[in-house]
């Protein structure tokens, strides 16, 4: 007899949401996390599109600010402002939000083990080992982040790759809290630099890059303004999406960052993660009711069906960005301004579904104005993803 129906390794927002939903279905669920204080330190920009409303997973009390749009800024400071009449994104308090999600899972009956490191996941026997005990279950959900040892077990021939993300919590004076700034800096490509207004008195200044910690800090310091005071510095890893990664073996599966289920262009994974969690919940439930492991394999198939095209498109855009120079970006921004592309982006832009914007740029012919800098071959690569 097993100790639990389901064991969840990692109490981030994706793991805790999965645990909560499975407990609500009546299953005996345990969740383990190495941290004593969930959500700390903050390792996320804390920005999500209003698409999160569809998941019904974000109470208003965790929204610090509501944004109408973004200022896109080229290396030579050419600026394109994109916006909507209504709110397009939320700035959220991820520390309190993550704690809320874990507390919600506990209230639903999940056994929560804080400050407990899982030293091994036994895929063959569906067991975990902590520093002091061993626990068995019918299913193991691994949601412990991009450095998952279980992911390495499932994918011995794949080297997990990540971006470095760094962020400063800034005490400052924000004259406009309706827009975030996104700076293109060729030293961070294929990443970018963001400045997110949290309130009139606080911002989050951050970036993600393939460079080192020292390299990232040097770049970020250049974007500090005279009125800024650094209150906190945080950093972490963002996994690179890899469609070849195996995420199910026997009765163990990966989800969230452990499965590299993140948007390539922004590194965000919250909304996609919640949607993928619903797939995992549905198929785990069917697996346990029917005692059929094929349903867990269907979770992997359904996830790829839902997100592969979008993520591959974003990956191709990212590859193009990485090869462009400052002159290329400055040229492109001027062309985009000349043809009022801000209106197209405002209408069709979506932080989570960027494919529809790319299709509209192709349909309108605007993207062909950029061909001298993008190149026909690379443009065709984007098209192949559609």
The more confident residue out of 231 and 37 is 231
7 contacts 135 by C-beta, under 8 angstroms: yes
Pick one of 2.60.40.1080, 3.30.465.10, 3.30.9.10, 3.40.605.10 as the CATH number of 68-90+169-239. Answer: 3.30.9.10
Grouping H, G, I as helix, E, B as strand and the rest as coil, residue 348 is helix
Q: What is the pLDDT of residue 337?
A: 86
Tell me the per-residue pLDDT of 314-349, one tens digit each, with 9 for 90 and over: 888 888 888 888 998 998 899 888 888 777 777 767
pTM here is 0.92
Q: What is the pLDDT of residue 40?
A: 76
The more confident residue out of 137 and 372 is 137
Q: What is the pLDDT of residue 198?
A: 97
Q: How confident is the model at residue 366 (pLDDT cuts 50, 70, 90)?
A: confident
Q: Give the mean model confidence (pLDDT) for residues 260-273.
A: 92
Would you give the distance in Å from CA 244 to the centre of its chain?
18
Q: How confident is the model at residue 386 (pLDDT cuts 50, 70, 90)?
A: very low
Pick one of 3.50.50.60, 3.40.50.300, 3.90.650.10, 1.10.357.140 as the CATH number of 4-44+94-160+241-306. Answer: 3.50.50.60
Q: What is the pLDDT of residue 318?
A: 87
Closest C-alpha to 336, from 372, 367, 358, 373: 367
Q: Is the pLDDT of residue 385 over 70?
A: no
Tell me the per-residue pLDDT of 267-308, one tens digit each, with 9 for 90 and over: 888 999 999 999 999 999 999 999 999 999 999 999 999 999
Tell me the per-residue pLDDT of 343-353, one tens digit each, with 9 for 90 and over: 777 776 777 77
The more confident residue out of 83 and 104 is 104
- Residue spans per domain, the chain: 4-44+94-160+241-306, 68-90+169-239, 313-384
Tell me the per-residue pLDDT of 161-217, one tens digit each, with 9 for 90 and over: 999 999 999 999 998 999 999 999 999 999 999 999 999 999 999 999 999 999 999
99 contacts 38 by C-beta, under 8 angstroms: yes
Q: Measured at the alpha carbon of residue 305, what is the angle toward residues 300 and 311, in degrees to the nearest 5?
A: 100
Instruction: Give percent above pLDDT 90 in the chain.
Output: 71
Tell me the per-residue pLDDT of 127-166, one tens digit each, with 9 for 90 and over: 999 999 999 999 999 999 888 999 999 999 998 899 999 9
Closest C-alpha to 266, from 70, 59, 35, 36: 70
Q: What is the pLDDT of residue 1?
A: 66
Q: How confident is the model at residue 371 (pLDDT cuts 50, 70, 90)?
A: low
Q: Is 35 left (phi over 0), alpha (psi -120 to 50) or beta?
A: beta
3-state secondary structure 29-97: EEEECCCCCCCCCCCCCCEEEHHHHHHCCCCHHHEEEEECEEEEECCCCCEEEEECCCCCEEEECHHHH
Alpha helices in 211-269 (DSSP H): 213-221
Q: What is the pLDDT of residue 175?
A: 85
Q: Is the pLDDT of residue 372 over 70?
A: no
Tell me the per-residue pLDDT of 95-137, one tens digit each, with 9 for 90 and over: 999 999 999 999 999 999 999 999 999 999 999 999 999 999 9
Q: What is the pLDDT of residue 364?
A: 74
Q: What is the pLDDT of residue 115?
A: 95
Q: What is the pLDDT of residue 363?
A: 73
């Amino acid at each position: 007899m097993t100790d639990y129906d389901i064991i969840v390794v990692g109490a981030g927002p994706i793991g805790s949401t999965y645990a909560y939903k499975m407990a609500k279905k009546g299953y005996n669920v345990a969740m383990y996390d190495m941290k004593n204080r969930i959500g700390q330190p903050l390792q996320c920009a804390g920005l999500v599109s209003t698409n999160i409303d569809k998941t019904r997973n974000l109470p208003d009390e965790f929204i610090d600010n509501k944004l109408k749009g973004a200022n896109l800024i080229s290396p030579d400071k050419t600026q394109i402002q994109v916006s909507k009449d209504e709110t397009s994104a939320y700035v959220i308090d991820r520390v309190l939000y993550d704690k809320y999600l874990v507390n919600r899972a506990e209230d639903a009956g999940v056994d929560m083990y804080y400050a407990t490191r899982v030293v091994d996941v036994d895929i063959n026997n569906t067991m975990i080992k902590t520093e002091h005990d061993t626990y068995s279950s019918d299913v193991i959900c691994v949601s412990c982040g991009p450095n998952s040892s279980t992911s390495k077990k499932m994918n011995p021939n794949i080297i997990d790759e990540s971006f470095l993300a760094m962020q400063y919590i800034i005490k400052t004076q924000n004259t406009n809290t309706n827009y975030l700034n996104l700076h293109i800096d060729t030293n961070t490509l294929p990443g970018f630099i963001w400045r997110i207004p949290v309130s009139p008195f606080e911002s989050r200044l951050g970036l993600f890059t393939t460079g080192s910690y020292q390299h990232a800090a040097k770049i970020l310091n250049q974007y500090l303004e005279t009125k800024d005071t650094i209150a906190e510095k945080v950093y972490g890893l963002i996994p690179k999406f890899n469609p070849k990664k195996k995420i199910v073996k026997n009765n163990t599966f990966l989800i969230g960052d452990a499965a590299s289920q993140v948007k390539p262009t922004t590194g965000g994974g919250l909304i996609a993660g919640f949607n993928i969690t619903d797939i995992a919940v549905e198929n785990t439930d069917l697996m346990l009711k029917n005692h059929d492991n094929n349903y867990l394999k269907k979770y992997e198939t359904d996830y790829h069906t839902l997100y592969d095209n979008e993520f591959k498109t974003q990956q191709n855009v990212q590859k193009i960005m990485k090869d462009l120079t400052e002159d290329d970006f400055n040229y492109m921004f001027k062309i985009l301004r000349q043809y009022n592309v801000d209106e197209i982006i405002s209408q069709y832009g979506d932080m989570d579904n960027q494919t529809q914007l790319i299709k509209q740029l192709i349909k309108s012919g605007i993207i062909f104005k950029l061909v001298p800098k993008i190149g026909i071959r690379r443009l065709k690569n984007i098209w192949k993803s559609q």
